[in-house]
A and B are shown apart, each in its own frame.
Chain A
Amino acid sequence: MLPPISEESLKILAYWIGAVCTLGIYTILYRENRVYRTLEHFYIGLALGFGLVETVNKVLDPQWFRPMVTETSVTVVSFDKSPQLTGVALDKILKQVGDGAWKWTPLETHQIQITGIPPEWGAPNYLKIWLHLDKPVFKGQIKLTIRIHNPDTKKEASLSTNIPTDFSGWREIRLELRDFSVQGEPYRDFEKVGKYRVLGDVVAIEFQANDSLVNSGATVHLDELRHCIGYRWWWAFASVVGLMYYTVLSPRFGWMSRLSLSFLMSLSAAGYTFKAFAIEVPPHIQDSFRPIFGTDFVTAINNAIFVGVLLCVMVYFFFSVEHRHILIRGPASLGRWLLMLTFGIVFGNTVMGRFSLFISRLDFLLLQNPVEADRWTKLGMVIGLAIVLFGAAFLSVEYERRRTQRVAT
């Protein structure tokens, strides 16, 4: 068994591992060496491992595999606690799921309402409930009603359906939400785009027995009401398309990877490329028409420079006419210079970005050291570590050089 480590010691350990990795990676500035290569592999392995675990645990498993092989259900009422309602009792013997079920005698109370349930249901497709009848009632029905408060309309709405009671014993009833009759407007405005319909702000569930069931004197047991999205077995085809990518590794079946690639590319081109152009580009074109006259002096100058630069650069990229005439050659040449200026700005920003990354590592090395010491001692520690690592890098380079020499001779 490993000895216990205090949080403080763990912080110090994490810091020094970080410091060794950071300075070890920076030994590349001296020359390609074994210290750098070892730590580079360590980093790549770490990033790949993290990426793989995240992809499996947070994407493939919850977003693809589980929805495919499970109903993706959430329990609305478990019927495991005492109901505190007249005519309803907790039965811990005759139950289907969990600790108990509700024994309901419609003769005593023909309607029960359950509140305090989870209000947000997501986008279920059907409900499932376990029902038990001690005898079949052929004309009997239980009306199940979902009561909703719509915050957009600020009105109550409901969804209801009838459950037949022509059976005895336990039965799991599946109730398709599309078959429910709707009173009022249960869905919020923005959720009615396409098939995305989310049931939110559910305030109560009601069970109501009809006269036949009430008069029959039958006893009903209720257990485990769930809302479910359902099995999405057709998602398995996604894996076929995905796995076809890997055929690129086989010269014989490589053509299959092109099929899936073309399929996804065509989907992207048809569905998104035009949309991207239509949404992104027109505002840029619109913004390039800027007034030079009829505005204040400073804006006019700014706009004139903007339009001038835009035209010069566009002339530079206009290759249908040879750049010989002075009216073409001049602006095109200026356009080229302006482009170079822009590239210079981009490069300057790149340098700034690289410096920032180095600064963040120095910040870590010099200011985030958890060891209790003055700043000069901490600096000495970091410099000492840097000397050791750069020394190791130097020795590894020397070792490789001598070995190459030995092999050559």
Chain B
Amino acid sequence: MEQIAQWLAKFQSIDRRIIYLCVSIAIALPFIVTIRLPVIPTLPTQKFYEAVEKVPKGKVVLIAADFDTGTEGENGPQVQAVLEHLMRRRIPFVIIGLAIQGPQLVQNYADRLAKKYGYRYGQDYVNLGYITGGQPALERFCRSIWQMIPKDAKGTPLSEIPLMRKVRSANDIGLVAEFTGAGLLGYYIQTFWGQFKVPLAQGCTGIIGPEQFPYLATGQLSGLMVGLKGAAEYEALLNLRREGYRRMMPQSMGHITALLLIFLGNLGMWLTYRRRQIRRL
């Protein structure tokens, strides 16, 4: 017993590099050996799915790609799942971004999926590129897209893009789906939701997830997808097994390892504390 206690006590001062190695092996394991766990969609993700289902015919979805490569690991699978849903429903979409790399990343996903669903650039989706100026720029965008952005990301005038003929202001947008790792939701609430009554849904990183839930409760958000788990849940709703689902098992393994190490560390600390107390007595 004493030996076990001594061994467990070592977990308090374990070299961080050993922890990294353990977590890395645990996370890498499901990539090599097939391990499966069920993914059960939660209510916020279901609401996001329903918000896409409710987009009226004749309106487009605005994909706000407010993320960059730093959070692509979480936002990337989220966007891909939503794009797949939009393409299945034949809903056209327009890409913008308040982050400089976001629109290009989303267009890459869209181009890849477009081949599968026969979507054509200009007819079914458009990339208007990076928008600078934050909230004032979005307000102007809501009032007149043509005035705010006369050309798409490739430099083609909007007058030469068939899809943009019917997309002129926020009134032509049926849903704004924002994907971000930063707190930019306020800009969209103050413009699209507050002034033009356009429904908003958000895919956010796990870090900012807890801050977004109150917006869901107030109805300012119609749906919310948090982190990689949200992406996996959305894929489950679409009966898909892609990046979100594939990466959930490593996620779970990582969590189990972290929990196990926390438990062993605490157990070691408690046993050391008890040994000290016993020695004092």
Contact = CB atoms under 8 A, between A and B. Distances in A.
Interface of A: 29-30, 50-51, 54-55, 58-59, 62-63, 72, 74, 118-123, 188, 190-191, 193-194, 196, 198, 200, 271-272, 275-276, 279-280, 283-284, 286-287, 342, 345-346, 349-353, 355-363, 366-367, 375, 379
A352 B251 contact: yes
B247 A356 contact: yes
A382 to B, nearest CB: 9
Chain A, interface SS category: helix
Contacts of A121: 159
Contacts of B227: 349, 352-353, 356
B254 A355 contact: yes
Contacts of B24: 358
A59 B74 contact: no
Interface in B118-170: 129-130, 132, 135-136, 140, 143-144, 146-147, 150-151, 153, 155, 157-160, 164-165, 168-170
B209 interface: yes
B209 A349 contact: yes
B207 interface: yes
Given A191-B168, A358-B27, A280 B190 contact: yes
Contacts of B27: 355, 358-359, 362
For the complex of A and B, list the 9 residue pairs with the smallest distance between their C-beta atoms, beginning with the closest.
A360-B73, A279-B194, A353-B206, A349-B206, A283-B218, A356-B228, A357-B73, A120-B159, A352-B206
24 contacts: A51-B100, A54-B100, A55-B132, A59-B130, A63-B132, A123-B146, A190-B143, A193-B144, A194-B143, A196-B140, A272-B190, A280-B189, A283-B218, A346-B211, A349-B206, A349-B209, A352-B229, A356-B73, A356-B205, A356-B251, A358-B24, A362-B27, A363-B247, A366-B31
A351 B27 CA distance: 13
Contacts of A286: 218
Contacts of B73: 356-361
Nearest to B153: A58
A342 B210 contact: yes
A275 B193 CA distance: 13
A118 B159 contact: yes
Given A190-B169, A352-B255, 7 more contacts: A275-B194, A276-B186, A349-B226, A357-B70, A359-B247, A360-B74, A362-B31
Most central of B27, B160, B207, B217 by chain A CB within 10 Å: B207
Given A58-B153, A275-B190, A363 B246 contact: yes
Contacts of B170: 190
Contacts of A122: 146-147, 150, 158-159
B144 A363 contact: no
A284 B210 contact: no
Contact of B74 (A188, A345, A356, A367): A356
Contacts of B217: 287
A353 B168 contact: no
A186 to B, nearest CB: 14
Most central of A120, A123, A352 by chain B CB within 10 Å: A352
Nearest to B189: A280
B263 interface: no
A115 B218 CA distance: 50
Contact of A276 (B74, B151, B190, B211): B190
A363 B30 CA distance: 10
B190 to A, nearest CB: 5
A359 B227 CA distance: 12
A59 B151 CA distance: 11
Interface string B199-229: 0000001110111001001111000001111
Contacts of B28: 362, 366
B255 A191 contact: no
Interface in B236-281: 243, 246-247, 250-251, 254-255, 258
A363 B31 contact: yes
